[in-house]
Amino acid sequence: MKQTIKQAIADSSADYTEIRIERRWLNRVLFQREKLETLESATELGGVVRCLKNGGWGIAVFNDVALLSNHVREATQMAAIVAASGTEPVNLADVSPVEEEVRVTLEHDFRAVPLQQKVKLMQSYNGIILGESDKIVASQVQYVDRFVEVTFANSEGSYLVQELPDITLLLGAAASDGKGDIQQGMELTGEAGGFECVEGMEEQAQVAARRAVAMLDAKPVEGGQHTVILDPRLAGVFIHEAFGHFCEADFLFKNPRLAKIMTLGAEFGGEDLQVVDEGFIAGGRGNVPYDDEGVRREKTYLIKDGRLHSLIHSRETAAKMGANPTGNARAVSYEYEPIVRMTNTYIENGSSSFEEMIRDVEHGVYAVDAYGGQTEFEQFSFSAAYGYEIVNGEVGEMVRNVVLSGNLFETMKSIDAIGSDLKIEGGPGGCGKGGQAPLAVTAGAPHVRIRNVTIGGK
pLDDT tens profile 105-144:
999 999 999 999 999 999 999 999 999 999 999 999 999 9
Question: Could you tell me the pLDDT band of residue 366, with boundaries at 50, 70 and 90?
Answer: very high
The reply to whether CATH 3.30.2290.10 applies to domain 2-217 is yes
| 361 has a pLDDT exceeding 80 | yes
| 457 has a pLDDT exceeding 90 | no
Query: Mean of the pLDDT values across residues 277-295?
Result: 94
Residue by residue, what is the 3-state secondary structure of 162-195? Answer: EEEEEEEEEEEEEEECCCCCEEEEEEEEEECCCH
Q: Could you tell me if 25 and 147 are in contact, meaning their C-beta atoms sit under 8 angstroms apart?
A: yes
Residue 73, C-beta contacts closer than 8 angstroms, at least 6 positions apart: 12, 13
Q: Provide the pLDDT for residue 374.
A: 81
Question: Could you tell me the pLDDT band of residue 458, with boundaries at 50, 70 and 90?
Answer: low
- Give the C-alpha separation, 125 to 139, whole Å: 10
User: 457, 273, 275: which is closest to 383 by C-alpha?
Assistant: 457
| 277 has a pLDDT exceeding 70 | yes
* Residue 17 backbone dihedrals phi, psi, to 5 degrees: -135, 135
Give ranges for CATH 3.30.2290.10 in the chain: 2-217
Q: Provide the pLDDT for residue 96.
A: 96
Angle at 367 between CA 363 and CA 373, to 5 degrees: 130
Percent of the chain with pLDDT over 90: 93
pLDDT tens profile 192-221:
999 999 999 999 999 999 999 999 999 999
- Give the C-alpha separation, 333 to 28, whole Å: 17
pLDDT tens profile 320-352:
999 999 999 999 999 999 999 999 999 999 999
- Give the C-alpha separation, 90 to 52, whole Å: 8
Q: Could you tell me if 447 and 355 are in contact, meaning their C-beta atoms sit under 8 angstroms apart?
A: no
Burial bucket for residue 26 (CB in 10 Å: 0-12, 13-18, 19+): middle
pLDDT tens profile 250-269:
988 888 888 999 999 999 99
| 442 has a pLDDT exceeding 70 | yes
Interhelix angle 202-217/115-131, nearest 10 degrees: 30
